[in-house]
Every structure is written in structure tokens, then in C-alpha cells.
Amino acid sequence: MMGRIFRIQRFSIHDGYGIRTTVFFKGCPLRCVWCHNPESQKFDIEIGYRAEKCLGCYTCLNACSRQAIGRGNETLVQIDREICDGCGECVRVCRGGALEIYGMDVSVEDVMKVIEKDTVYYKNSGGGATFSGGEPYFQPEFLLSLLKSCRERGISTAVDTSGYADWRVIESTLPFTDLFLYDVKDYRSDRHRVMCGAGNELIVSNLRNLIDLGAEVIVRIPVIPGYNFEEGDFDGYARLLTKAGVERVDILPYHSLARDKYRWLGREYRLPEMSEKARDLSTNFAQFLENMGFKVTVGGYF
């Protein structure tokens, strides 16, 4: 069983309980305008270019058999992403580390070898393995195989998901998943469609199904001022959470740490700086939900 990922992060403390190893899957069916992992969106393997590291040696031009790399105007090197197939030959010869490959094909055993390195930390901290993305359910068979392998080895599991997947696919992972970190990006389906590329009906339906079946779910709500969140939206989110039977909420304030990633991928970062407003909104929203009886954390601290 093979799958495609773009990173494995050990000693993670923001993706579930305790110390965890987070496996980031490649590919996502949504296109959220605030996505902080733009390298995860496409299933295709991609090449990132960090102009600030480029030495201008141009060895990458000769290494590219598809002639997808040329001299640039604004930067020393320019990648034609319509031609590039992500083979990585340019990355292997880059002397300054300016070129980076996003995506690798791995087997279940490849991933498990990394996860198993830290079993002692999982046991001592109550941690385990988290499967994130992208969207893990975009590669359902690979995800299921990893979850089963973790269960066989006694490793606790969490799935970090947008919930935008066929219910039967999510249901198949229930026996092997200890925790769902479940994104609710907007309570309004019309706005969700504009900001993420699809409505939220399937996401809300799957959330209710999970909770009705007794799964442990922590809902994660990103706070992006002017996009999916304002002061007047508190009641709307609370109604959705209450109706679905949610008990635990993790609020994720906007941050601009992904800004450089977009540049490395040759994409435009469309959001303005609004971190201070996001922090204030998050604090007020957290207090609002706590007053209603929800258990609330802010910023992925469990």
C-alpha cells in the first residue's frame, strides 16, 4: 500500500493529546483562501523555489530534462509549473538549497518506521500518531491501512479532517481512530462555498454522525476576520455546535506564517495582515463559548 505525503513532523504538541507524530497527506478537495499548508492542496508533487537562497549557479537549468526551469526577471530562476513534473532532479543538484520538493510516495511501512521511533514518548505523554493534510480522506485506503497498523502496534491515533468526504469512508475508519480533530470552517454554507470551494452541508452531516456514534471529536474553528468570522458570527457558530452535540472546541486564530510558502510555490498570498484582530476575536469567542458550557482551547494546545 502506497500513499503520497509531504511531511512527517515528530514531537508535535498541537495535533492532539500529548507528544505526537503528525503525518501530512498530499491532496485536498477544498481550496480555503487562508490555507496554511498550500503545498498540501495539489496531489501532484511540486517544487518550491526560495529565491533568497539561490546562488545563481544555474545548475538546475541543465538538470531539468523537461526544460521547465529558466532564468527569471524578478528572481534568478523561474519555474514553468505547467511543464514541471516534480521529478526532483533540480533539487538534487541545487547547491544553495533554494529548491525543495513537496511530496513523496511512501509505503505504510515507511511511515510506520518513523512513527514507531517515538513510542516511549507516546506512552509517557498520552500521545500517538495524527494523520493530517491536506485531507487524509483524500487517500482513504492509505489512511485506513495506517490506522490499522497503528492499532496493531498499540499506538493511539487521531485524524485531522475537514470532514468533506463520503460518510462511508469516514465510517470505515471509526474502529481504528481514537480522536477526530474536525474542522468547522464556517457555519454559513454560502460563505463556506466562496471561501473554501464547496458548501458545508456534507461536513455538518458527517460531524453529527460522528458524535451520534460516540466518537471523540474536537471541533477546530479557524478565525479569519473578514472572511469567515466577525463578532456577529458568535451565535451562528454556537447554534451549529449545539445542534451537532459538540462538547470540545479548539479555536485557531489566523496567522501569516504560510505567506512565504505561497511565494515559494509561485502563488499569490491573498490575505492582508490581521493577526491582532484575530487574537482579539478568538479571545472573545472563547469566553463566549465557555460561558455557554463548551470546553475551549485556543491555538491547538491540548
How far apart, in whole angstroms, are the C-alpha atoms of residue 11 and residue 19? Answer: 5
How far apart, in whole angstroms, are the C-alpha atoms of residue 30 and residue 146? Answer: 23
What integer pLDDT is reported at residue 117 of this predicted model? 97
Q: Which three cell numbers stand for residue 128?
A: 500517538
Residues 2-42+107-298: name the CATH superfamily: Aldolase class I (3.20.20.70)
Reported pTM: 0.95
Which amino acid is residue 102, in one-letter code? Y
Q: Which three cell numbers stand for residue 119?
A: 513510542
- Residue 217: how many CA atoms within 13 Å on its side-chain side? 27
**Sign of the CA dihedral with 233 first, then 237, 242, and 246 last:** negative
For 224-259, the pLDDT digits (tens) are: 999 999 889 999 999 999 999 999 999 999 998 899
Query: Domain limits of the chain?
Result: 2-42+107-298, 46-102
Reduce the DSSP state of residue 157 to 3 states and report it.
strand
Question: In the chain, which stretches have pLDDT less than 70?
Answer: 301-302
Which amino acid is residue 68, in one-letter code? A
Q: Which residues is 223 bridged to in the sheet?
A: 253
What integer pLDDT is reported at residue 83 of this predicted model? 95
Share of the chain above pLDDT 90, in %: 95
Q: Which three cell numbers stand for residue 90?
A: 533540480
What integer pLDDT is reported at residue 302 of this predicted model? 65
Same fold, 2-42+107-298 and 46-102: no
For 166-209, the pLDDT digits (tens) are: 999 999 999 999 999 999 999 999 999 999 999 999 999 999 99
What integer pLDDT is reported at residue 299 of this predicted model? 87
Instruction: Choose which CATH entry (3.30.450.20, 3.30.430.20, 3.30.70.20, 3.40.50.2000) describes domain 46-102.
Output: 3.30.70.20
- Residue 32: how many CA atoms within 13 Å on its side-chain side? 28
List the Cα angle 224/244/190 in 5-degree steps.
45
What's the alpha-carbon Rg for the chain, to the nearest Å?
A: 20
Q: Phi and psi (nearest 5°) for 4? A: -120, 125
